[in-house]
Structure 1
Amino acid sequence: MSTNLYDFSFNLPNNKPFDMELLKGKVVLVVNTATQCGLAPQFEGLEELHLKYKDKGLVILGFPCNQFGKQEPETNESMVQACAINFGVSFQLLEKIEVNGKNELPLFTWLKANTNHFLFKKIKWNFTKFLIDQNGMPVKRFSPTAKPNKIEPLIQELIG
């Protein structure tokens, strides 16, 4: 059984492993994303948080997912380009994954089991957010409609 974020592995869009050492001692915001979702303008708010806090210890990880309304039809490569061109994204995007079901990324299984949830543990839509502290422990789950700026006070608190 995994005990913290650093027990997991996942891949970059080029299918190479992400270096988990980059997350140690950082506050991490994990988000399941989709470029064609009605909530996609949140990419801009996530990017603002990234730019404002990346040098203070925040890492944002975007996990593209096509499970909700098929709103992430892009390939890993074209998704990265679409996010950069359409939303100015420079925070870390990862390989397209599933967040629910038999093929869900184990990280999301663990996050859902270890955070507050809204009636159901299952992720209901794109842009569900999970905030993780500097020790790799989940702090809070945020609904898809929670705008990134609403998470900022808790990020500031965790960063100190």
Structure 2
Amino acid sequence: MGAASSVPENSIHEFTVKDSKGKDVDLSMYKGKVVLIVNVASKCGFTNSNYPQMTQLYESYRAKGLEILAFPCNQFLNQEPESSEKVEEFACSRFNAEYPIFQKVRVNGPKAAPLYKFLKAKKGGFCGSRIKWNFTKFLVDKEGHVIRRYGPSTSPLSIEKDIQKALNAGM
């Protein structure tokens, strides 16, 4: 259980997801960008450290090609009970998040979002591919390939060098 399964997709650019209001977003729009994908929750112990650091990274590197995609998830002790729109309002008003907040997703189990099935298949975590908690992070290169996976306790600012390296790749 928790083992990575094979997926037919080769890149995040092959996926369409829903924004916080339910509108389709084709992830091919992020071609040429370095992307940090994070499953977020507003009532988690990591919330008050991760959101501000994600905002800081976004402010520092957005103009250089970084995008952060936040996916609310309520699979871990019901720490994200609010609607996707309320999560977006929370992140924007409390943490000045300017990066997109998407529709709430499942990251584990048979009903996991296809994007998360892909991410986990490409970069399994410690003891299997299952996502263990909120604020698991996936760093994706400009071609949409998963470079690294970081656990919930890894602070966004601690991966700044990896982000810089990915942004400078191919220059």
Give the TM-score normalised by structure 2.
0.91
Corresponding residue for residue 90 of structure 2: 82
Equivalent residue for 2:29, pick from 22, 26, 40 = 22
Write out aligned runs for 1:4-153 (5 A): 4-41=11-48, 42-153=50-161
Deviation string 1:42-92 (CA, Å, 9 cap, x unpaired) is 100001000100110000000000000100011111111111122221111
Q: Give, in whole Å, the separation in 2 of the partners of 1:71 and 1:136.
A: 29
One-letter amino acid matched to 2:164: Q
Q: Which runs of 4+ in 1 moved over 3 A?
A: none
Matched to 1:114, the amino acid is: K
Residues 116 and 140, structure 1, Cα contact 8 Å, conserved in 2: no
Supply the AA of the counterpart residue of 2:57: L
In the TM superposition, what is the alpha-carbon distance from 1:19 to its structure 2 partner?
A: 3.4
Deviations 1:107-147 (A, max 9, x none): 11111111142112100000000000001100000000000
2:4 match:
none
Identity of aligned residues (%): 38
Quick one: distance in 2 between partners of 1:116 and 1:102? 17
* Cross-structure match for 2:3: none
Q: What TM-score, normalized to structure 1?
A: 0.97
Measured after TM superposition, the shift of residue 20 of structure 1 is: 2.3
Counterparts of 2:13 and 2:133, CA distance in 1: 25
- Equivalent residue letter for 1:87: F
